[in-house]
């Protein structure tokens, strides 16, 4: 009898991963055999859940009913993620495809940017993501599931009105408690590369250009060995810094106080230049207004850069429930790049 580990495998469905099982095990577990593994002794078993259902296998996929066709119904859908192993403490959701109805187009002063459709993921002890909607393909979220074997997470969709574009395909990866790639506590998103792109939710909707209301979450960047700072610059995309387009703050030395009542990003200890160890450089904690940067002399264009040399490297996103009068309030899109430490020897 041939035995092999139930490791992750690459399926014949391009870009989709699965778990290596025997063909009988795959069939009994409700998976789809898409390719071979274990030198041909096993099949790459892919688990796809449509409609309301239970996710109990690692590396599963949640899809809307009739995917890749769109979902036009208004029936709410809920998926329960149960641990595939007692060693699991966290789950990561990758939005391979994610389009649901975004904020309503409205000029009301209050209750603006509210989602018409909504997506939330809830974990242990009531931990929950903010309400997410709109266009978010390529984004991801993490959720803590706790240490108990009976802990679970819940993914919920609610819908308002019909839609001809609503579609999702979400990869569900369960993460062991001991995993080295597990994010620190409190991180809804976690970036582990030396360089990358960070966007607020629904930034990709370049037509309506509305960020989401009532957001409060933490984006974390893993500090690489030999790197002491993270440099941030605006994406070259149109309106990449319109988180609070109505704000009249001048982004002066009093920036941190001025941002308290506005939609803002919080980056603990950022400055206008990367110079770790220089205690004479003014440090700031919040970014808001129409200008990206801590000084009125900084250009508002996408070539403007700021730097954070105070680890851990986190960005806290905060938006209120009040819609700005400006027609464009797309949100924020930042390019980040980790900066090597300076060798003074």
How sure is the predictor about 303, in pLDDT bands with cuts at 50, 70 and 90?
low
Exposed/middle/buried for residue 344 (C-beta within 10 Å: 0-12, 13-18, 19+): exposed
With a cut of 90, say whether residue 317 has pLDDT above it.
yes
Tell me the average pLDDT across 210-225.
95
The pTM for the full model equals: 0.91
CA-closest candidate to residue 323, choices 263, 266, 256:
263
For residue 301, pLDDT beyond 90: no
Q: CB–CB of 172/60 below 8 Å?
A: yes
pLDDT at 25: 94
The two tokens of residue 279 are 């205690």
What whole-number percentage of the chain has pLDDT above 70?
87
Between strands 53-55 and 77-82, the pairing is parallel
Where does the pLDDT of residue 262 fall: very low under 50, low under 70, confident under 90, or very high at 90 and above? confident
pLDDT mean over 132-146: 96
pLDDT at 324: 67
Query: 264-271 and 331-340 as β-strands: parallel, antiparallel, unpaired?
Result: unpaired
Tell me if 78 sits within 8 A of 51, measured CB to CB.
no
Average pLDDT score over residue span 212-218: 94
> Residue 2's pLDDT band (boundaries 50, 70, 90)?
confident
pLDDT-based confidence at residue 105 (cuts at 50, 70, 90): low
Banded model confidence at residue 340, pLDDT cuts 50, 70, 90: very high
Q: Interior CA angle at 222 toward 200 and 168, to 5°? A: 40
Q: Which of 151, 155, 153, 152 is nearest to 169 (CA)?
A: 155
């Amino acid at each position: 009898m041939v035995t092999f580990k139930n490791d992750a495998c690459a399926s014949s469905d391009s870009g989709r991963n699965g778990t290596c099982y025997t063909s009988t095990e795959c069939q009994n577990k409700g998976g789809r055999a898409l390719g071979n593994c274990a030198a041909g002794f096993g099949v790459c078993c892919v688990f796809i859940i449509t409609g309301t259902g239970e996710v109990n296998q690692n590396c599963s996929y949640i899809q809307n009913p009739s995917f890749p066709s769109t979902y036009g119904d208004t029936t709410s859908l809920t998926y329960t993620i149960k641990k595939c192993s007692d060693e699991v403490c966290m789950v990561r959701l990758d939005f391979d495809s994610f389009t649901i109805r975004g904020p309503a187009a409205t000029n009301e002063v209050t209750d603006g940017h509210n989602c018409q459709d909504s997506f939330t993921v809830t974990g242990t002890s009531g931990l929950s993501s903010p309400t997410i909607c709109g266009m978010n393909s390529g984004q991801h979220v993490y959720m803590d599931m706790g240490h108990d074997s009976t802990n679970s997470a819940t993914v919920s969709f609610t819908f308002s009105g019909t839609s001809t574009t609503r579609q999702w395909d979400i990869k569900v990866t369960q993460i062991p408690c001991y995993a080295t790639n597990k994010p620190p506590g409190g991180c809804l998103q976690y970036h582990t590369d030396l360089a990358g792109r960070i966007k607020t939710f629904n930034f990709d909707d370049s037509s309506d250009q509305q960020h989401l209301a009532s957001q409060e979450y933490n984006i974390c960047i893993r500090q690489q060995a030999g790197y002491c700072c993270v440099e941030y610059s605006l994406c070259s995309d149109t309106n990449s810094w319109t988180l609070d387009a109505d704000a009249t703050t001048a982004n002066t030395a009093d920036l941190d106080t001025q941002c308290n009542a506005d939609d803002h990003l919080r980056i603990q200890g950022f400055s206008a230049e990367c110079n770790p160890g220089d205690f004479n450089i003014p440090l700031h904690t919040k970014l808001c207004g129409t200008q990206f940067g801590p000084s009125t002399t900084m250009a508002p264009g996408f070539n403007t850069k700021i730097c954070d040399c105070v680890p851990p490297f986190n960005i806290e996103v905060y938006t209120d429930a009040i819609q700005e009068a400006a027609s464009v309030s797309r949100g924020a899109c930042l390019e980040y790049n980790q900066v090597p430490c300076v060798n003074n020897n």
